[in-house]
Amino acid sequence: MSNLQNPPALNSPNPLGFWDDAIGALASELSPQQFKTWIQPLTLVSYDISERSLIVGAPNRFKLDWIKKTFSDRFQEMADLYFGHPVVLGFILSVDVAVAQTQVASAPQERFESQEVVPTTPDSTSTEEQAFEIEDHSKLNPNLTFETFVTGKANQLARAASIQVAHNPGTSYNPMFLYGGVGLGKTHLIHAIGNHLLKEKPSARIRYIHAEQYVSDVVRAYQQKAFDRFKRYYHSLDLLLIDDIQFFSGKSRTQEEFFYAFEALLSNKAQVIITSDTYPKEMAGIDDRLISRFDSGLTVAIEPPELEMRVAILMKKALSEGIPMSEDVAFFVAKHLRSNVRELEGALRKILAFVRFHGREVTIDVARIALKDLLSIQNRQISVENIQKAVADFYSIKVADMYSKKRPANIARPRQIAMFMAKELTQKSLPEIGELFGGRDHTTVLHAVRKIGDERSHDGQLNHEIHVIEQTLKS
């Protein structure tokens, strides 16, 4: 994404800087699929600084309506925050040819990946000049460094391992496999490794790539018969950072290509760093030989942040925005928002926007007003993620075990308790709960719900435990 290469100049707001910033923010807030579908096709059609107006174009009526309905508030909020004054924001249908072409070009790719059919003829428009190009940039975001990464119990191992690898790439921990839930700092940490190495050794060939982008690079290389170039590029890196590798699931052609790249890189003593939402053995739809490679170096988890760390993150980020937040306000916010760092950042953005507009100090009352919607949602509904975290904490197991397929009793039982609580405390259906527990069948959830419900009625100890967990969830 372009914002990774050219971070906006924060001190001089300008429309293009805003656009990069906004797209970058949405890229980290949405799933890659959502981002690709809704945000990527948008263009900044025009802007007028004196009129304080920006116009965003969408490629078709359907997307236009949807963007207006779903994202206009978010864009407005980001624009107002970025420029520091209210901006008039319009959405129109763009007749941008480039956008239309991008969409046509992406169609064969989906077909290829879903059916694993390799196109035999190159795209008719592909000529020598338009041959497959790999942009020769690291794609590192310079803002994601170790300095801006707050440490706590939840991530200290991951950070220590990352520092170690950044200092001695290609030697001890190769590959390094970093896993954990969304918004916990995986992407941040691997950029930090890349940035560190780049500083130490500016000539190092470093590449950050999201797994989904790698998949489409493989497809493009195929369509344009440019595999040699593709291979030369990937096999010659010093450091490959590949993010969210679970996106390789079911894409066997991509996996095969990656396997070769991986072998080549390791034999060159180049460092490979991989992130995923779960640990290697739990990954579904990934070839066994890749899984065993992933597991052959160092595998390290990153866990949801504990209270003190959430407080530290809020205070540090507020300070870096030039609006200090006192510890009691940070505690107030951190107590209410527990799931991940991305959520905390969203809350902080809301508070800062409110404070800037109304010229207020950051107090608990201000935070409460600014986060009114967020907090009422949190209070009304307890999320399945929060239940998983609370139960895992209580029984001292990893949150990742909630979605894992492992079945030892010390894990299986807390997992059943969490499923039972998810049914009791949320509005989710059995299949939805199954999905959130690593794609389990609804009958598995039903079994857990009945079993725990039954036991609870005559097991005082279990009843107490569930009660305590419920209290932590509601406090």
- Nearest distance in Å: CB 456, ligand ADP: 35
The H or E element spanning position 271 is: strand 271-276
CA atoms within 13 A on the CB side of 210: 16
Interaction of residue 348 with ligand ADP, rule CB under 6 A: no
Q: What is the DSSP letter of 204?
A: -
Sole window of 162-170, 179-187, 197-205, 326-334 interacting with Mg ion (rule: CB under 5 A): 179-187
Question: Does residue 204 contact residue 236 with C-beta atoms inside 8 Å?
Answer: no
DSSP alpha helix (H) spans, 395-459:
409-425, 430-436, 442-458
Contacts of 240 (CB under 8 A, 6+ apart): 207, 209, 234, 261, 265, 270, 271, 272, 273
Q: What is the DSSP letter of 241?
A: E
- Nearest distance in Å: CB 41, ligand ADP: 22
Interaction of residue 185 with ligand ADP, rule CB under 6 A: yes
Nearer to ligand ADP, 148 or 172 (CB): 148
Sheet of 206-210, strand order: 206-210, 239-243, 271-276, 176-179, 298-301
Considering only residues 206, 313, 392, 402, which one is a binding residue for ligand ADP as defined by CB under 6 A? 313
- Nearest distance in Å: CB 190, Mg ion: 8
Considering only residues 139, 188, 338, 350, which one is a binding residue for ligand ADP as defined by CB under 6 A? 188
The single-letter code of the amino acid at 452 is I
Number of shown-chain residues binding ligand ADP (CB under 6 A): 18
- Nearest distance in Å: CB 89, ligand ADP: 23
The single-letter code of the amino acid at 89 is L
Sole window of 178-186, 222-230, 287-295, 403-411 interacting with Mg ion (rule: CB under 5 A): 178-186
Nearer to ligand ADP, 327 or 361 (CB): 327
Q: Which residue is nearest to Mg ion (CB)?
A: 187
Binding to ligand ADP (CB under 6 A): which residues in 151-170?
Answer: 155
Nearer to ligand ADP, 10 or 412 (CB): 10
Interaction of residue 223 with Mg ion, rule CB under 5 A: no
DSSP annotation string for 52-83: TEEEEEESSHHHHHHHHHHHHHHHHHHHHHHH
With vertex at residue 10, the alpha carbon angle to CA 50 and CA 150, rounded to the nearest 5 degrees, is 150
Question: Does residue 260 contact residue 138 with C-beta atoms inside 8 Å?
Answer: no
- Nearest distance in Å: CB 248, ligand ADP: 16
Question: Does residue 386 contact residue 418 with C-beta atoms inside 8 Å?
Answer: no
Nearer to ligand ADP, 217 or 303 (CB): 303
Considering only residues 184, 237, 375, 430, which one is a binding residue for ligand ADP as defined by CB under 6 A? 184
DSSP alpha helix (H) spans, 84-185:
97-115, 156-167
- Nearest distance in Å: CB 25, ligand ADP: 9
Distance in angstroms (rounded) separating the CA atoms of residues 321 and 352: 8
Interaction of residue 470 with ligand ADP, rule CB under 6 A: no
Give me the 28-47 binding string for ligand ADP, x by CB under 6 A, dash otherwise: x-------------------
Considering only residues 27, 193, 270, 341, which one is a binding residue for ligand ADP as defined by CB under 6 A? 341
- Nearest distance in Å: CB 62, ligand ADP: 29
Number of Cβ within 10 Å of residue 200's Cβ equals 11
Distance in angstroms (rounded) separating the CA atoms of residues 450 and 453: 5
Question: Does residue 406 contact residue 397 with C-beta atoms inside 8 Å?
Answer: no
Considering only residues 96, 123, 321, 345, which one is a binding residue for ligand ADP as defined by CB under 6 A? 345
313 is in the binding site of which of ligand ADP, Mg ion, none (Cβ under 5 to 8 A by kind)? Answer: ligand ADP
Q: Comparing C-alpha atoms, which of 89, 26, 13, 23 is closest to residue 55?
A: 89
Nearer to Mg ion, 53 or 249 (CB): 249
Nearer to ligand ADP, 94 or 162 (CB): 162
- The two tokens of residue 449 are 């719900």
- The packing angle between helices 327-336 and 372-380, to 10°, is 40
Interaction of residue 187 with Mg ion, rule CB under 5 A: yes
- Nearest distance in Å: CB 28, ligand ADP: 5
Sole window of 114-122, 127-135, 184-192, 425-433 interacting with ligand ADP (rule: CB under 6 A): 184-192
The H or E element spanning position 408 is: none
Nearer to ligand ADP, 155 or 223 (CB): 155
The H or E element spanning position 99 is: helix 97-115
Distance in angstroms (rounded) separating the CA atoms of residues 305 and 302: 9
- Nearest distance in Å: CB 305, ligand ADP: 7
Considering only residues 99, 163, 182, 369, which one is a binding residue for ligand ADP as defined by CB under 6 A? 182
Q: Which residue is nearest to ligand ADP (CB)?
A: 185
Sort strands 53-58 and 43-48 into parallel, antiparallel or unpaired: antiparallel
The single-letter code of the amino acid at 447 is H
Positions touching ligand ADP (CB under 6 A) are 28, 144, 148-150, 155, 180, 182-188, 313, 341-342, 345
Give me the residues that bind Mg ion (CB under 5 A), please: 186-187
